[in-house]
Amino acid sequence: MERAGLRPRVDKALAAFLAAQRTRLLSIDEALADVADALEAFVLRGGKRLRPAFAYWGYRGAGGIDSDHVVTAVSALELVQASALIHDDLMDRSDTRRGEPSVHKRFAARHAAAAWRGPAEAFGDNAAVLLGDLALVWSDELLHSSGVGLEELARARPVFDRMRTEVTAGQYLDVLTPVTGDTSLERAGKIARYKSAKYTIERPLLLGAALAAATPALTGSYSAFGLPLGEAFQLRDDVLGVFGDPVVTGKPAGDDLREGKRTYLIAAAYETVSEAGRAELERGLGDAGLDEARVGRLREIITDSGALARTEARIAALTDEALAALHTADLEAEARGVLLELADAAVRRTV
């Protein structure tokens, strides 16, 4: 089975689960149709399905036999992703996601259109908190109702739990860092690992490995492959957050600058930029009113500092480290080929 054949199966599993949840919500109150609509749109529209793909092929690489139950189990990762993104957009005050209004903006607009009482923005924020929580709750339910055996679930559960703790901890550090002004590479690297790298690639691989009862040696190889690749994925995301084309990213150009994110790219710039450049960065980072001209100026400062080149070099080094680990891993040949394709897709997104 090729990589392309997995995505429609994941989409089908998610659509079936969300349809059942819609019925459950409407049995409570018809007003919850808005919740069902929003989560269906968010989960089923767009998304690369990278996390289920890494989990599935981690499973297959460990000798696991294909089944719809396993596909459904790894599809639970998309609900963890949905929860993280909904909350991330709220905390970052992002207006869009994948070219569409973010969830808090969607519900604020619903409030305004209906001329409901109170502030529309507060309603949108509250709704986004609850929908993000609901997606996380549903991720647990989808894993447990997937149909995989109790032994498989018992092996997979600790990986799934640890992953959700790690991404939440990483998200908190991401919120904490701008307010403390920490611009160190050490903190930026830790956020990249825990907010994104581990739950994007390493933990999904380990989830698949656990479902298949992989050997300790292969589990170790998956970590040696997945963690550096996940960091490279996040660093690419950081570059796109400053230099990306909105048509590709689905978010306004320079959004990470407006949000004041202290990424590896920014930390690298702080290390080498001139005193005047540092002052400009300080003034611009976190300024929600940055216009295109000022975004362009900050990009120029970052590029001139050597931070962009340094980040690209770091992406290349991490990718090489990951691929070296994969090439020496003892896994099924077909899975190795697909994981190589997935690695390329993860780090070579277009700017």
* Domain architecture of the chain: domains with CATH: 1-45+68-147 (no CATH), 157-346 (1.10.600.10)
Compute the chain's Rg from CA coordinates.
21
Identify the three-state secondary structure at position 257: helix
Asked if 48 and 341 touch (Cβ cutoff 8 Å), the reply is no
Only one residue has tokens 């400009």, namely 280
Rounded distance between C-alpha atoms, residue 106 and residue 127, angstroms: 9
**CA end-to-end span of the chain, whole Å?**
30
Closest Cα partner for 255 from 74, 93, 114? 93
Residue type, 261: K
Angle (CA) 194 287 89, round 5°:
45
Query: Residue-wise pLDDT tens for the chain (351 aa)?
Result: 456 699 999 999 999 999 999 999 999 999 999 999 999 999 998 778 999 999 999 999 999 999 999 999 999 999 999 999 999 999 988 888 888 999 999 999 999 999 999 999 999 999 999 999 999 999 999 999 999 999 999 999 999 999 999 999 999 999 999 889 888 999 999 998 998 889 999 999 999 999 999 999 999 999 999 999 999 999 998 999 899 887 776 677 788 898 888 899 999 999 999 999 999 998 998 888 888 899 999 999 999 999 999 999 999 999 999 999 999 999 989 999 999 999 998 888 643
Given 3-state DSSP classes, what are the helix, strand and coil percentages for the chain, each rounded to the nearest 5? Answer: 80, 0, 20
Which DSSP state fits 32?
G
Identify the three-state secondary structure at position 212: coil
